[in-house]
Structure 1
Amino acid sequence: MQTTYALELSDIKQIAAAAEAEAQRQQWAVSIAIVDAGGHLLHLTRLDGAAPLSAHIAPAKAHAAALGRRESKGYEDMINAGRTSFLSAPAIEGMLEGGVPIMKDGQCLGAVGVSGVKSQEDAQIARAGIAALGL
């Protein structure tokens, strides 16, 4: 049997606080989602001024990153490179930059998805949240 890691409530709060702090420091109105390794929503915050649609896109980005165990940007890059058939992949939405997996010792614990500003800025916020765990 294999020992696995799991996010705890304190981890989720720490990630959320750090991601929100980065967004506010940059004055970016975004939604921030945190999911577990199965892509199930654990946390969602829509900051003041963030578009309502961002509250749907952020969890989708996180879901894609968790299930794929890779940044959601990888899917966007594949599609932009001409592999448009990937758009038909079952159960995967949010194939846009801004979803970042939370990895520890090669295991995916979950992911953070952010939506509301430029895609690379979304990813910056997600990474800032994950960095708070010091993995």
Structure 2
Amino acid sequence: MSVSKMDATKFYLPGDITQAQANQVIEAAVKKAVENNLLMNIAIVDAGGNLKAFVRMDGAFLASIDIAIKKAKTARSLNMSTHELSKLAAPGQELYGIEATNGGMAIFGGGELLKNKEGYIIGAIGVSGGSVEEDMSVAQAGAAIV
């Protein structure tokens, strides 16, 4: 059997974001970015924190590629938005310094969990390229789709 004719359902983990869902999340996030005249990098990770989909809008910052991916991975690895994490990682708080672990984490807004209709985490989105508030707005628009 050729690889292109394999039944993907045999390799797919139930409860993981599908490619169709990831594409919908990206589409909603890009739409929000365009509406607000923003140039964004948008990353989607699956339930295991692995990159599933990515888009760099024309002209978006090159440095924001890695930041968007780290925001998505950070949100998924800690099961919270990176905005929530930023409060816990502030100086004097219990997670201060966490950004230096795990090969680097993003501890500012723009990473959101993606949950299915039952409330189970199926992945995460990370957005970078604007202000923290702009990144959060675009990420939340994408997350609202699933």
TM-score range, shorter chain: 0.7 to 0.9
Indicate yes or no: 2:79 matched with 1:66: no
Q: Alignment partner for residue 111 of structure 2, among 96, 99, 113?
A: 99
SS of the residue 1:80 aligns to: coil
Shift of 1:29: 0.8
- Corresponding residue for 2:130? 117
Shift of 1:57: 0.2
Query: How far does the alpha carbon of each residue in 1:71-110 deviate from its partner, in whole angstroms, 9 at most, with x for none?
Result: 0112211222523233343355112210000123342111
**Stretch deviating more after TM superposition (82-91 or 48-57):** 82-91
Unaligned runs of 5+ in 2: 1-12
Question: Which amino acid letter does the alignment assign opposite residue 120 of structure 2?
Answer: Q
TM-score, normalised via structure 1 length: 0.88
Contact 1:100 / 1:111 at 8 angstroms: preserved in 2? Answer: yes
Q: Alignment partner for residue 13 of structure 1, among 23, 26, 35?
A: 23
Aligned-CA RMSD value: 1.8
State how many pairs are aligned: 131
**Stretch deviating more after TM superposition (107-116 or 75-84):** 75-84
